[in-house]
A and B are shown apart, each in its own frame.
Chain A
Amino acid sequence: MKDGFEGLPDLSGGPGERLLARGVSRRDFLKVCTGIAAAMGLPLGMGAQIAEAVTNPKRPPVIWLSAQECTGCTESLLRTNHPTLEKLILELISLDYHETLNAGAGKQCEEALKKSMQENKGKYILVVDGSIPVKDGGIYCKIGGKTVLSLLEEQGSQAAAVIAIGSCSSWGGMPSAYPNPTGATPVHAIFKEKGIKTPVVNIPGCPPNGYNFLSTVLYLLTFKKLPQLDEEGRPKFAYGRLIHDNCERRPHFDAGRFALEFGDDGHRKGYCLYKLGCKGPETYNNCPTLLYNDAGSQAWPVGTGHPCFGCSENKVGFNIPLHTPAVLKDVTPPVNFPGIVEDKGKGVTVAGAAIAAGVAGAAIGVAAATSKNLGKKDKDKGKSDPESKES
């Protein structure tokens, strides 16, 4: 009865104990699991179920394949200010192979890879960061003398599921920008071409939010299936909404207050960055609500004063020039507002008054028609509705 989490799984044994040893308390751990359940739109009780599943003493094996990447995706998981994220990931899974993190080099780590693949055939999770070059036989990225193209085929076809972390492996990302010198290709496209049936989850972002990756891993471990995906293969819990719909600068957008230049008055006042090329209106991601690195409010690109560049959106980031205005996917505010200047003693301008009257007239008309219809419906309803007869 000490921490208020009675009845929830205790952390003794398996990864739970290791977490405790690393200073992650039971309370912290359950808080993260419950938070993640909520972020994925799962009922609250699911937090406990996630905690139960991931403290299973048998840790799921993970093989991490690095292709044409910059290691930003790995760094974003390791360099968080939050004390638990990288510990959670590294303790809950058995990371059998990761080029940047393996202790042994060369032959030793290649052997660890071979061993894990043999022992866990069809059961391991393959995480891929970086795009796959296909031009000239795939020679533009090699590990241990083999092309990553051949490594992906080999490792991908025997995996239980693949998580493509980052924009590079999700849709090609930066290396695939014009003129795509190396034929950089995303994982799902290679699988399609080679007829590999292993399911792929895309976690785009450059780099993506570590919590979106962690949530996906926990979901896979708990429910033994993929979370719901959108048509781009992204988990809906994270990529279900436009940046623009959750942006704290949205009221400025709606009111027509924009920064026009970096450092101008509007920019200093925190106005909307649409005219500087913000791609929030066409990019699906949860950056404004999840934020980055647990650094407090506004810790995301727009919050710091830079337009979103659309990294998680196929054909937007690295494709549409940075300062080109976004294509609006939903409401567009009017270009011209009625120019009514109510100068004292002068009244409204003629044109403004005319527009205002027109708009008001139309509005009244609509209201009248609506209430008329409603009244009619109510009356009709009264005839057949048994409840209203009784009263």
Chain B
Amino acid sequence: MSKRIVIDPITRIEGHLRIDCEVDGGKVVNAWSSGQMWRGIELIVKDRDPREVWLFTQRFCGV
């Protein structure tokens, strides 16, 4: 019988990370990582003047 462990939030990193682990008999048999935040920067920069796109993409991550 497998068990699922969820670690959310993962701290000491930038952003909102979540880890799901499936554990069976003391062993990790499957694992997923997922970002829990989305701003749609791909859509924000679409059709924009390329000269100002850096302003937006630069803010993917401020670390």
Chain A residues within 8 Å of B, Cβ to Cβ:
66-76, 99-107, 109, 133, 140-145, 174-175, 177-179, 181-182, 184, 206-207, 309, 318, 321-323
Contacts and interface: CB of A to CB of B under 8 A. Distances in A.
Given A70-B61, A321-B49, 16 more contacts: A66-B16, A74-B62, A105-B11, A140-B39, A142-B36, A143-B9, A145-B6, A174-B56, A178-B44, A179-B44, A181-B39, A184-B39, A318-B55, A322-B52, A322-B55, A323-B51
Interface string B17-52: 000000000000000000011111101100001011
Contact of B14 (A67, A70, A107, A142): A70
Given A142-B16, A318-B56, A322-B55, A174 B39 contact: yes
A322 B25 CA distance: 57
Contact of B13 (A70, A73, A100, A181): A100
Nearest to B40: A181
Given A72-B62, A142-B36, A181 B43 contact: yes
B14 to A, nearest CB: 4
A75 B52 contact: no
Nearest to B54: A322
Contacts, number: 107
A68 B61 CA distance: 11
Contacts of A182: 38-40
A106 B55 contact: no
B52 A71 contact: no
12 contacts: A70-B59, A101-B12, A106-B6, A106-B7, A109-B9, A143-B9, A143-B16, A174-B41, A174-B44, A175-B39, A175-B41, A206-B59
Contacts of A105: 7, 9-12
A170 B9 CA distance: 24
B11 A109 contact: yes
Contacts of A103: 11-12
Given A70-B61, A71-B61, A179 B8 contact: no
Nearest to A78: B63
Contact of B37 (A142, A144, A323): A142
A102 B12 CA distance: 6
A285 to B, nearest CB: 17
Contacts of B63: 71-72, 75
B18 to A, nearest CB: 8
B33 to A, nearest CB: 13
Nearest to A102: B11
A-B CB proximity, top 10 nearest: A72-B62, A181-B40, A322-B52, A106-B7, A70-B62, A175-B39, A71-B14, A102-B11, A141-B37, A142-B36
B59 A99 contact: no
B44 A106 contact: no
Contacts of A184: 39
B39 A99 contact: no
A321 to B, nearest CB: 6
Given A68-B37, A174-B39, A144 B8 contact: yes
A73 B41 CA distance: 18
Contacts of A143: 8-9, 16, 36
Contacts of A100: 11-14
Given A70-B62, A143-B36, A106 B56 contact: no
B52 A99 contact: no
Could you say which of A70, A73, A321 has the most chain B C-beta atoms within 10 Å of its C-beta? Answer: A70
A182 B44 CA distance: 10
